[in-house]
Amino acid sequence: MAVFFASVLPQFTAPGQGMVSTLVLLGVVFSALTFGWLAVYAMVISTTGRLLRASRAQRAIEAVSGAVLIGLGVRVAADAR
């Protein structure tokens, strides 16, 4: 991460001005955006996990998984060697 900030971010600063303060500001903005993205991502994953743990959803997932496994087994059994 340090190499990224040291190599990419200086091109976004104005020459002759305080580059350190601008780089710190860009780093803070990057950190805030990353935190916001990861917070939303965690909430979506948490909600999805809660929905998938419901008995009806689990039953559907198990039915689809069973059908896929049976289909793969039939394909292997029917495969001519």
Per-residue pLDDT tens digits for 44-77: 999 999 888 888 888 999 999 999 999 999 999 9
The phi, psi pair for 70, rounded to 5°, reads -65, -45
Quote the CA–CA distance of 40 and 49 in Å, as a whole number: 14
Whether 23 contacts 9, CB under 8 Å:
yes
- Rounded Cα distance between 64 and 72, Å, is 12
Q: What would the pLDDT profile of 29-43 be if each residue is shown by its tens digit? A: 989 999 999 999 999
pTM for this prediction: 0.58
Q: State how far the Cα of 24 lies from the Cα of 63, in Å rounded to an integer.
A: 53
